[in-house]
A and B are shown apart, each in its own frame.
Chain A
């Protein structure tokens, strides 16, 4: 049973969600303020955190950035519809995906399932992927660049894995969204782009060029270069 942490100051909503999601086989723990949310999110007892950005006291963005300093746990943020700035900031800080509030519970559950599928699915039998100085081991959930370990969130890991599997070929934004986030690409949906930009920052450049190239209007490509021996 997957344990999900919900950080939201709306106590009644948390109760309803707990009831609804236990029907789907999730164990819910709800906390109602940022400081406690941060403490519980770092307890390693949960598979995923649902984090409302509008929290009294320590705000959601602050909680998120502190969680990200220590943990790659998947985080789904809840944002008020129309608060684009908060949403983009949340994704840049390291949220895996977002759901606009008020939300349809079926959609929330689908998003949670999609992220969990990517992060806790069976990876046994998968071989490490090696492209140039980049090495990604799905079984060990470990990525290294020039031997140096990378700290990636689970969605970033899944995204990079998909790009490496297709290294040298274009992967469309639609494919990436569907495979990595388990949903359709919406209009003006920049989630994948924010994730790619975060990964790029962590990878750094290779001989002054980006390792992940954006193909305007279609998608992204992991650049394979002929290494001089």
Chain B
């Protein structure tokens, strides 16, 4: 089995490693090359330390001449790993090696005739004027260890600068890294959202697809998936259209043939039954298509601000005829206009289905109580209650499934097809709302619809 190199893993690993290394190096560089000043309170102790070795070097010079001084300084350098040099007042080196590195400090010391302090490569450098015994003055220059305090504790602004450099270097690298990693993820997320909203032609961008790492593979997989979904949905949609066409063409012919057979006249019982069954068949096909469309919307819905109270009033008026036939009173309690954003036609059919369902199941002589109000300012609450026998508790959720039947006998009599509530459920859900049923006391079913409310001021 071939081991696949997890490139994203390696990328993240190396990038973080590089960040850590770069941060360290930048700290080191600012530490070593950064400007340094020696605080004044250290001057006297540094002077003492430098003077003591300087005086020995001078004494060696006076005792044994240049070779003695040179051998002392060589020993000093070997023992301490620090550089030291002895000059005359004209800044000519007498003993020591690499003495030209002290040149600028030497010049200042000679012209001001005072001790000079500096920091280089993390070491303190001291240049002193030493009085020789023969009235000759000499200049002694040496490095002294200063420790981390020399780097951090000496100058607040220098410390700040170093941290700022380290922070901005590591921050910049991390920013690039984060961008590199999260950019494609955000892009994929947007694409997924668009896909979920029904824009099935959405694909991940080409430059994401071209990446060689796991994110690129994810992008390619996403595109494969999106293409597959698009194909499946368009095929399903085509199937629905084909079924619709295939079922409706014979229905259309039957309608005309029936009318032809009865000679354009009404009032023939078998023909009337046939005709009402044709109407019912057609309605059932229509509802099935509606459900299929709601499950896989092809075109974005037309959304407006809908006056739900108005809509409900019209539905109750329209249902009045059917209710009268069954000797049922429909009571409407609508104290205030309520608005919601949505598709008026779909909301109308959803609410109408619930109201007609209630009229169908409430016993003759009783009533259907419909109420609407705005709750918590954020929701429209619509309750439709009948006084029928209700629904067994365990079936309360199932009544929103297509073709669910509570009681066989009752449905036959009322001619229900069990699709109305299924449509209502889907419509309310795509409006961001919820629909549920509960049994009322002492008897009856109560269907509660909640949809997000809007203000009429946002009428477009």
Q: Is the CB of A20 within 8 A of B282?
A: no
Q: Beyond the given A10-B252, A13-B256, A103-B252, could you list 15 further A-B residue pairs with CB under 8 A, ordered by the A residue number? A: A10-B249, A13-B252, A13-B253, A16-B256, A16-B260, A20-B256, A81-B286, A82-B293, A84-B345, A102-B248, A102-B251, A102-B255, A106-B259, A106-B264, A187-B318
Given A13-B256, A19-B260, A20-B256; A81-B245 close (CB under 8 Å):
no
6 A-B pairs with CB atoms under 8 Å apart are A10-B249, A10-B252, A16-B253, A16-B256, A102-B251, A102-B254
Q: Is the CB of B348 within 8 A of A188?
A: yes
A120 to B217, CA, bound (A): 68
Q: Which residues of A contact B314 (CB under 8 A)?
A: 187
Q: Is the CB of A16 within 8 A of B282?
A: no
Number of interface residues of B (CB under 8 A): 27
A154 to B392, CA, bound (A): 58
A12 to B255, CA, bound (A): 12
B interface residues, Cβ below 8 angstroms from A: 244-245, 248-249, 251-257, 259-260, 263-264, 278, 282, 286, 289-290, 293, 299, 314, 318, 344-345, 348
Q: Which residues of A contact B286 (CB under 8 A)?
A: 81-82
A23 contacts B by Cβ under 8 Å? yes
Q: Is the CB of A85 within 8 A of B299?
A: yes
Q: Which residues of B contact A85 (CB under 8 A)?
A: 299
Q: Is the CB of A17 within 8 A of B348?
A: no
Q: Is the CB of B256 within 8 A of A17?
A: yes
Which secondary structure dominates where chain B touches chain A? helix
Q: Is the CB of B249 within 8 A of A104?
A: no
Q: Which residues of B contact A81 (CB under 8 A)?
A: 248, 282, 286, 289
User: A105 contacts which of B245, B248, B255, B344 (Cβ < 8 Å)?
Assistant: B255
A80 contacts B by Cβ under 8 Å? yes
Q: Which residues of A contact B257 (CB under 8 A)?
A: 16
Q: Is the CB of B348 within 8 A of A105?
A: no
Q: How large is the interface on A (under 10, 10 to 19, 20 to 34, 35 or more residues)?
A: 20 to 34
A54 contacts B by Cβ under 8 Å? yes
Q: Is the CB of B293 within 8 A of A105?
A: no
Q: Is the CB of A102 within 8 A of B282?
A: yes
Q: Is the CB of B255 within 8 A of A104?
A: yes
User: B259 contacts which of A80, A104, A188 (Cβ < 8 Å)?
Assistant: A104
A184 contacts B by Cβ under 8 Å? no
A101 contacts B by Cβ under 8 Å? yes
A12 to B260, CA, bound (A): 13
A12 to B290, CA, bound (A): 28
Q: Which residues of B contact A103 (CB under 8 A)?
A: 252, 255
**Looking across the interface, which residue of chain A has its beta carbon closest to that of B247?**
A102
Q: Is the CB of A23 within 8 A of B290?
A: no
Q: Which residues of B contact A84 (CB under 8 A)?
A: 345
**Looking across the interface, which residue of chain A has its beta carbon closest to that of B263?**
A23
User: A23 contacts which of B255, B264, B278, B344 (Cβ < 8 Å)?
Assistant: B264
Q: Is the CB of A102 within 8 A of B252?
A: yes
Chain B nearest CB: distance from A62 CB in Å?
18
Chain B nearest CB: distance from A102 CB in Å?
4
**Looking across the interface, which residue of chain B has its beta carbon closest to that of A108?**
B256
Chain B nearest CB: distance from A30 CB in Å?
12
Q: Which residues of B contact A54 (CB under 8 A)?
A: 245
A23 to B262, CA, bound (A): 12
Q: Which residues of B contact A82 (CB under 8 A)?
A: 286, 289-290, 293
Q: Which residues of B contact A20 (CB under 8 A)?
A: 256, 259-260, 264
A188 to B253, CA, bound (A): 27
A12 to B263, CA, bound (A): 18
**Looking across the interface, which residue of chain A has its beta carbon closest to that of B310?**
A217
A10 to B252, CA, bound (A): 10
A105 to B348, CA, bound (A): 27
A101 to B245, CA, bound (A): 10
Q: Which residues of A contact B263 (CB under 8 A)?
A: 23
A8 to B290, CA, bound (A): 25
**Looking across the interface, which residue of chain B has its beta carbon closest to that of A105?**
B259
Q: Which residues of A contact B260 (CB under 8 A)?
A: 16, 19-20, 23, 105
Q: Considering the complex of A and B, which 4 residue pairs feature the smallest CB-CB distances, nearest first?
A: A102-B252, A16-B256, A102-B251, A105-B259
Given A16-B260, A101-B248; A10-B255 close (CB under 8 Å):
no
**Looking across the interface, which residue of chain B has its beta carbon closest to that of A13?**
B253
A71 to B330, CA, bound (A): 51
Chain B nearest CB: distance from A29 CB in Å?
17
**Looking across the interface, which residue of chain B has its beta carbon closest to that of A20?**
B260
A106 to B282, CA, bound (A): 17
Chain B nearest CB: distance from A7 CB in Å?
15
A104 to B256, CA, bound (A): 7
Q: Is the CB of A10 within 8 A of B253?
A: yes
A188 to B289, CA, bound (A): 19
